[in-house]
Structure 1
Amino acid sequence: MGQQRSLAKAFGCARVVFNDALRARREAFEAGQRISNANCRSDSPRPNARRNGSG
């Protein structure tokens, strides 16, 4: 039961952070502010990507 509770708490915290970021982006968009995607480029290497091509 401890692991299940720990995972639920971790995912709950992640959900709060995600929802806060989503709200901030939505508010910025509605205010006409520019939202930077500089850190979201699809051609940039992912730090945790596997090098051997699997997964």
Structure 2
Amino acid sequence: MHAGGVASQPLGRRERNKQQKLDRITAAASELFAEHGVEDVTTQQIADKADIGTGTLFL
């Protein structure tokens, strides 16, 4: 029996899904900011473009 070792395991499905959502949010926000400027982009626009709910965006 060895101690620890959890860090070397691959990410689980839940963690991968979280990372994919974060990647979509970041890409959507970057694209919208480049097109319209930070001042003119709403959280709803980011959520819609990232294909997530606004509640998920705030999480």
- The two structures have a TM-score, normalised by structure 2, of 0.44
Higher helix share: 2
Structure with more contact order per residue of length (Cα contacts < 8 Å, sep ≥ 6)? 2
